[in-house]
């Protein structure tokens, strides 16, 4: 009996020893990640209306006051790179084996960028991130400017040392070739981790000089090659930093062999949970520095990778700003406001929002215009009608993809306006897109509207936000297969002013838009759209919206049905019948 008991004990001890050995060989790797921060270096905060009741602002969170709440809560206060620094440093102090990654689009989005072109932000990121994949907006000012920023030549300082990863652009012969690299390998507590970067290749996001640099091979071939090379170097974990967007990540990149983790960006999606597909973990953490993603993996010595969990951490007011970074931001903020091109864009009110001016159309119902889209297009139309050097505009068309955020209730400052219309860059003014007037006949207008509806179920980037025009479409119908074909658009619903465009197909209408939209339409039609009228002096979109807000004083915009999806009306009717 004793001999048998002894054997049982020996076996038990052996099992424990083997288990302990297995545990010792398995290590936990924590991957922190952010994406599409868009120069949101300062927190998103808002002040209440100046009134004796301002003391109520942070405290009431329900009832009729809900209409005044910002996306971050009634007392909107979140994000900022100083808070991001605090959170990342806390992780590194309290956890072992931490890798921090950024999936692109640091550039463009606030006066901080328009003043400094991203250099101070990247220098702050040096102490926070292990690698970054440049996004399309890093190329907005051209390849030479990006090279100047990364090398430090533009700022007259040292080069940026955050590794910049891109494997699908051919930079041979350009200064960027020495500043970007396809991949890196990091050894973290014995875990060999390979990271490579991919940027999107959508021509609408890039200038001709960048498009010419696309490597030519299919993205998935490039990704498979990079993953294979990293595996050959002995990497136990292979990560793709993808600035492709959620759909390409899920449908294409997930099928590429050799990749363990896809850290995504570009589409600004805040995942509710990690996606596990084809043996890969796919994550994305919203945008504008409001969230930090945390992915935990168990990595064995043999190279197996097990998903342990993923979550996002919101950078709310409970996260205290890092003092060192905060001090640097205060200096930068002062330099921006001292620039005569900008003035007191962080502190001086230009108007007050009566309610949230939302950037999204309503979640329910058929309306497909947003409050912000209506405000911006009305502002553009107002500015162009006041310009004596261009023909009087009949309407304005502006795609939803060129506006960002809403403007929350309360005091509106210049930086809020720029965050709403952040894109483009003019070196002289430090502002963005300019406004133009383009003559188009009715037939062309209908064809272009139909084109904007081709991918409406996948993205709202092309969704037209009009002023002076109304129209309807049916999203349940198939998209048109050729430019000029009509499928989803209801042509008899398209009205400019009081005129039905379908009854005046040969009439020339003068359409207001940004110079970027004009360039896109010209390229889309193979140069058939060439004529435009430029206001003299130039009208910048930012100035048009800012001045319009000032003229209103108190801004009260909602979605009002300028654009309607009749499929949503039918769906609502069907529900009622049931």
Predicted local distance difference test score (pLDDT) of residue 71: 41
User: Distance from CA of residue 97 to its chain's centroid?
Assistant: 29
Predicted local distance difference test score (pLDDT) of residue 23: 47
Q: Which of 93, 148, 118 is nearest to 41 (CA)?
A: 118
**Residue carrying the six token digits 């050959």:** 232
Q: Specify the 3-state DSSP secondary structure of 208.
A: helix
Q: Specify the 3-state DSSP secondary structure of 246.
A: helix
Tell me the CA distances in angstroms from 575 to 368, 474, 568, 572, one per residue in order: 20, 17, 11, 5
Q: Specify the 3-state DSSP secondary structure of 243.
A: strand
Report the distance separating Cα 340 and Cα 495, nearest Å.
42
**Which sign does the torsion angle of CA 417, 419, 422, 427 carry?**
positive
pLDDT means per 10 residues, the chain with 578 residues, are: 51 44 74 96 74 42 38 64 98 96 95 96 96 96 96 96 97 95 96 97 86 89 97 97 95 97 94 96 96 97 92 95 97 96 94 91 93 98 96 97 87 93 90 96 96 88 95 95 91 97 96 95 91 97 98 96 90 42
Bridge partners (DSSP) of residue 510 are 439
Q: Which of 521, 551, 538 is nearest to 435 (CA)?
A: 538
169: left (phi over 0), alpha (psi -120 to 50) or beta: beta
Report the distance separating Cα 222 and Cα 167, nearest Å.
7
Burial class (CB within 10 angstroms; exposed 0-12, middle 13-18, buried 19+) of 571: middle
Report the distance separating Cα 106 and Cα 116, nearest Å.
12
**Edge-first strand listing for the sheet containing 280-283:** 183-188, 191-199, 237-243, 261-264, 280-283, 275-277
Q: Which of 546, 143, 52, 142 is nearest to 345 (CA)?
A: 546
Predicted local distance difference test score (pLDDT) of residue 47: 61
Report the distance separating Cα 550 and Cα 185, nearest Å.
52
Report the distance separating Cα 98 and Cα 117, nearest Å.
29
User: Distance from CA of residue 17 to its chain's centroid?
Assistant: 50
């Amino acid at each position: 009996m004793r001999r048998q008991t002894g054997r049982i004990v020996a076996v038990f001890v052996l099992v424990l020893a083997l288990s302990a050995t297995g545990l010792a060989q398995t290590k936990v790797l924590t991957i922190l990640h952010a994406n599409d921060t868009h120069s949101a270096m300062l927190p998103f905060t808002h002040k209440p209306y100046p009134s004796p009741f301002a003391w109520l602002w942070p405290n009431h969170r329900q009832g009729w006051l809900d209409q005044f709440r910002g996306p971050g809560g009634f007392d909107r206060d979140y994000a900022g790179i100083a808070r991001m620094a605090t959170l990342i440093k806390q992780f590194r102090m309290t956890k072992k084996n931490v890798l921090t990654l950024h999936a692109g689009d640091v550039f463009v989005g606030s006066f901080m960028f328009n003043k400094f072109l991203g250099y101070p932000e990247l220098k702050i990121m040096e102490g926070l991130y292990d690698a970054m994949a440049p996004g399309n907006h890093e190329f907005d000012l051209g390849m030479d400017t990006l090279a100047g920023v990364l090398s430090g030549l533009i700022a007259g300082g040292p080069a940026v040392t955050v590794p910049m990863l891109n494997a699908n652009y051919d930079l041979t012969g350009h200064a960027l070739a020495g500043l970007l690299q396809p991949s890196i390998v990091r050894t973290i507590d014995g875990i060999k981790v390979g990271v490579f970067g991919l940027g999107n290749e959508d021509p609408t996001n890039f200038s001709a000089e960048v498009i010419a640099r696309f490597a030519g091979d299919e993205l998935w071939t490039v990704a498979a090659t990079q993953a294979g090379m990293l595996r050959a170097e002995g990497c136990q974990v292979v990560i793709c930093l993808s600035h492709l967007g959620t759909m390409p990540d899920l449908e294409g990149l997930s099928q590429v062999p050799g990749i363990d983790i896809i850290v995504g960006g570009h589409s600004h999606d805040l995942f509710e949970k990690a996606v596990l597909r084809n043996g890969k973990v796919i994550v994305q953490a919203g945008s504008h520095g409001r969230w930090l993603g945390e992915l935990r993996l168990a990595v064995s010595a043999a190279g197996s990778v097990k998903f342990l969990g993923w979550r996002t951490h919101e950078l709310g007011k409970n996260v205290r700003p890092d003092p060192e970074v905060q001090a640097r931001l205060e200096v930068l903020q002062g330099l921006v406001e001292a620039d005569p091109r900008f003035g007191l864009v962080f502190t001086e009110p230009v108007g007050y929002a009566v309610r949230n001016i939302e950037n999204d159309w309503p979640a329910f119902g058929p309306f497909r215009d947003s409050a912000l889209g209506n405000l911006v297009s009305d502002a553009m139309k107002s500015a162009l009608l006041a310009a004596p050097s261009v023909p009087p505009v009949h309407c304005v068309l502006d795609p939803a993809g060129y506006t960002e955020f809403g403007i929350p209730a309360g005091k509106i400052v210049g930086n809020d306006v720029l965050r709403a219309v952040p894109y483009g860059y003019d070196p002289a003014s430090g502002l963005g897109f300019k406004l133009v007037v383009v003559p188009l006949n009715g037939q062309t207008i209908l064809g272009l509207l139909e084109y904007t509806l081709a991918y409406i179920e996948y993205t709202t980037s092309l969704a037209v936000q009009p002023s002076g025009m109304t129209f309807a479409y049916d999203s349940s119908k198939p998209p048109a297969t050729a430019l000029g074909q009509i499928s989803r658009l209801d042509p008899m619903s398209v009205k400019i002013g009081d005129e039905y465009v379908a009854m005046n197909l040969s009439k020339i209408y003068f359409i207001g838009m940004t110079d970027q939209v004009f360039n896109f339409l010209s390229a889309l039609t193979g140069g058939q759209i060439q004529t435009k009228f430029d206001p003299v002096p130039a009208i910048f979109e930012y100035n048009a919206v800012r001045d319009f807000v000032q003229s209103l004083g108190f801004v009260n915009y909602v979605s009002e049905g300028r654009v309607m999806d009749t499929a949503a009306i039918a769906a609502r009717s069907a529900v009622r019948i049931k």
